[in-house]
Structure 1
Amino acid sequence: ALGGYLEVITISQNDSYIFFSLSTESSNVSRLVGSSVNLDIKHRVPKFDHLSWVFNKTNSVLKYYTHSKKIIQSSAYEDRVEFNNETYSLTLKNLQKTDSGEYEAEADGDEVIVAVNYRLFVLDPVEAPDLNHQLSNDTCNITLTCRSHDLSINSSCYKETCEEKNVASPGGVTLSLSVSGSTIICNHSNSVSWANITLDTGNICTEKGLHINT
C-alpha cells in the first residue's frame, strides 16, 4: 500500500479518478529572482506510463513518457527547464517572481500518484537599509533610526548600552538593530538575501569631542 492519503474525485456518475499522494505536506523553497531551483522526488515512484510536472494544479510544465522517453515541454518554459529522466527531478532556471506557486509531480499509471509537492517563493534581493543617528547636546547618548522600505526601528544608546530590536513583515522580511562592541548594525533580510549598514559609536563620540557616560 502507498503511504499518504487517498482522495477520490468524482467527475460523473460513471467515472472517477483516484489520486494517491506519497507526501501529505508541501515543501517550501525560496530562491532569488534570476537564480535556479532543483525540485527533487525523494520517494520511490511506483511504475507509471507518464509523469507530469504541474504548476498551480492546472498548468503543465512538462510531461515525460516512460516507454518512448519522450518529453513534451510547455512553450512557456522554453530554455528554462531541465528534466532528469532517471530521478524525474525538475530544474527551473532564470526564475521570475511569476514562477512563485505550487509545483507537483504526478505519475500516471494504474492510478494517478502525486509523487511530490513544492511551494516555491521567488523573491527580489533586499535593499540596504538606512541608519540615522542623533546625538544629545552634551554627552554621547545616541538616538537611532534603522529603516528599510516598509519597516522601521527606533532605539537609543545610553551609558554604552544600546537597545537591540527587530521587526518583521507578514511576508517574512526582517529588520533588526544589533550591537557588536561599539558598532551598531542595522540588518535587512528575507529568506534568500540580506544587506546591512553599520555605525561606529566610538568614532562619532571622538569626532564630537564627547564621551560615553559610564
Structure 2
Amino acid sequence: MLQPIFVLSSLISITVSCDKFRLVGGSLQLDTQNPVPDFDDLFWVFNRTNNVLKYSWKHKEVTFYSHYEGRAEFNEETYSLTLKNLQKTDSGLYEAQASGDNVTGVAEYRLSVSDPVEAPVLTYQLNRDTYIITLTCRGHDISIHSSCSIETCEEKEVTSPGGIALSLSVKSSTVICNHSNLVSWKTDILELKELKGLCADKGVTGYIVGGVVGVIVIILIVVVITMRKSCGTN
C-alpha cells in the first residue's frame, strides 16, 4: 500500500512549467506554484545555472546577483519574484528551489520576451479589364494577397515559424490587415466603400468613353449619309 501512496505524492509535488510572454521593457511576477516546505535558503534560478537571487530564512536576507540588481524584486511573504525592464536576453527557464534537508522545486516558468510587431501596410490594385481588386497585406518579412470584387473579399491568414501572424479579414464594411505576435498586434484598415467607389469610378469612366465613341460613330454615319445624298443629287 505504501508504494502507490509514495508514487502519488511524488506526482502531486511535480512542478509543471508555465509559459509566459512579455514585451521588451515590460515586467513579470513569478509566484510559487507548489507549497513551500521548511527551508534554509530559497533560490530563484535562470536556465538552471544562473542564480537570480538567494533568500536566507534564518537571517531574513535577500541577495540579488549582479545581473539582476535594480531590476528584480522579491516578496519575503509569498516568495514571488518580479522581473522588471525585461529584455530579449531574459527569455528562458526560471525555477524556484527551496533548499533544506532536500532541494524542492516550487516553481517553474518558461519566459519569452519579444519586440512589438511593426505596423502592417495594406494596399490595393485594380485590374481595369475585370474590375477585380488585388489586396496586399504586408508585415515584417511576410505578405499575403487576396482577390476582392465589389461585393466580397477573400480572407486569408499565414503564421511564420517564429509565431508572427499576418491576416486579412473583413468585418462589417472594413477590410483589416492584422500583424501580430504572442505579445502585441497592429492593424491597417481599408473601407469597402472606398473599393466600391474605385470600381464605380472606373465603371463610370467606361460608360463615358463608350458614350463618346457611340456619339462619334453616329456623327460619322450621319456625315456619310449626307455626303451620299449630296452626291446623288448632283
1:165 to 153, 156, 163: 156
Corresponding residue of 2:69: 78
Corresponding residue of 1:16: none
1:181–1:33 CA distance, 2 compared to 1 (3 A): same
The question of 1:130 aligning with 2:121 is answered yes
Percent identity over paired residues: 57
Corresponding residue of 1:54: 45
Which has a greater percent of helix? Answer: 2
CA contact (8 A) 2:19 2:109 kept: yes
Deviation of 1:162 (Å): 0.9
Corresponding residue of 1:176: 167
1:42–1:207 CA distance, 2 compared to 1 (3 A): same
TM-score of the superposition, structure 1-length normalised?
Answer: 0.86
Deviation of 1:138 (Å): 5.2
**1:98-137 mapped onto 2 (5 Å cutoff):** 98-137=89-128
Unpaired segments ≥5 residues, structure 2: 1-5, 204-234
Aligned length: 196
**1:87-106 mapped onto 2 (5 Å cutoff):** 87-106=78-97
**Separation of aligned partners in 2, 1:152 and 1:204:** 20
Corresponding residue of 1:146: 137
Corresponding residue of 1:26: 17
Q: What SS does the aligned partner of 2:140 have?
A: coil
**Separation of aligned partners in 1, 2:130 and 2:170:** 19
**1:32-51 mapped onto 2 (5 Å cutoff):** 32-51=23-42
**Separation of aligned partners in 2, 1:202 and 1:120:** 44
TM-score of the superposition, structure 2-length normalised?
Answer: 0.79
**Separation of aligned partners in 2, 1:89 and 1:46:** 15
**Separation of aligned partners in 1, 2:23 and 2:101:** 38
Q: Which has the larger radius of gyration?
A: 2
Q: CA RMSD in A?
A: 1.8
Deviates more, 1:174-183 or 1:21-30: 21-30
Unpaired segments ≥5 residues, structure 1: 6-20
String of CA shifts for 1:145-187, please: whole Å, max 9, x gaps. 1111122111111251111111111111111100012311000
Deviates more, 1:129-138 or 1:160-169: 129-138
Deviation of 1:44 (Å): 1.2
1:68 to 54, 59, 74: 59
Corresponding residue of 1:18: none
Q: What SS does the aligned partner of 1:110 have?
A: coil
Which has a greater percent of strand? Answer: 1
